[in-house]
Amino acid sequence: MELVRALRAGEEAAFSQLVDTFGRSMLRVASLYVRDRAVAEEVVQEVWIGVMRGIDRFEGRASLRTWLFSILVNTAKTRGAREARSVPFAALGDDAVQPAVPEDRFLADGTAWPGHWTNGPAQWGAPLDRLLSRETRDVIAGAIDRLPEMQRRVVSLRDVEGWSSGEVCNVLEISETNQRVLLHRARSRLREAIERSAIEGND
């Protein structure tokens, strides 16, 4: 609430604190609704204006962070809907029926051990510090970009922004079960993308 008081007072330090605490994350979240980077920046600017106009009425029932992101998501949604190619909405998408691991990696029914690995997952040869490099980050960012829309939103909010499953369900208006299915598919795809790059990295 100290930050809220300082914002009401129009203190410069409060503005920097607000931007440095939330700015980067707000831009990323806006990008989940509007793909164009310049438009995402405009969305965030609109949010700052809405926040400053509404700050006197902010009662602190929700946290400042929750309030900010609910304004952000509403603004980004409206903007995204205006620009969206009209894709039919499917909560889970076709990819939801894909298994986490291709079924040919497991022994078939009728064998001695149906459902057990034919070959287990290969060890990732690359050491952790290499996996933590810029290169792996680019691999993951690229793989997230190629995910179906709802998977991209769920995994970005959960695993990039670090939101709880409850927060993600609220904001995306999906059930706990759908959230988990989407997250599971998305993480499985990201694991595959890292695997491809980590194993190539063995040579």
| Contacts with another protein, residue ranges (CB under 8 A) | 9-12, 15-16, 18-20, 23-25, 27, 41, 44-45, 48-49, 52, 99-101, 103, 106, 113-117, 120-121, 123-124, 131-132, 136-137, 140-141, 144, 155, 159-162, 165, 180, 183-184, 187-188, 190-191, 194-195
Query: For residues 84 and 142, which CB has a smaller minimum distance to another protein in the complex?
Result: 142
User: Is residue 186 a contact partner of residue 151, using CB atoms and an 8 Å limit?
Assistant: yes
CB of 88 to another protein, least distance (A): 26
CB of 76 to another protein, least distance (A): 15
Long-range contacts: 73-82, Cβ < 8 Å, 24+?
A: 73/29, 73/33, 73/171, 75/30, 75/43, 75/46, 75/47, 75/50, 76/29, 76/30, 76/32, 76/33, 76/34, 76/40, 76/43, 77/33, 79/33, 79/34, 79/39, 79/42, 79/43, 80/33, 80/34
> Rounded distance, CA 179 to CA 188, Å?
14
CB of 86 to another protein, least distance (A): 29
CB of 92 to another protein, least distance (A): 14
Query: For residues 90 and 100, which CB has a smaller minimum distance to another protein in the complex?
Result: 100
Query: For residues 84 and 127, which CB has a smaller minimum distance to another protein in the complex?
Result: 127
Kindly tell me the burial class for residue 198, based on how many C-beta atoms sit within 10 Å of its own C-beta (0-12, 13-18, 19 or more).
buried
Closest CA to 58 of 15, 2, 4: 4
Query: For residues 88 and 120, which CB has a smaller minimum distance to another protein in the complex?
Result: 120
Query: For residues 64 and 190, which CB has a smaller minimum distance to another protein in the complex?
Result: 190
Q: Which two tokens stand for residue 202?
A: 């063995």
Query: For residues 4 and 140, which CB has a smaller minimum distance to another protein in the complex?
Result: 140
CB of 170 to another protein, least distance (A): 16
CB of 50 to another protein, least distance (A): 11
> Rounded distance, CA 193 to CA 138, Å?
11
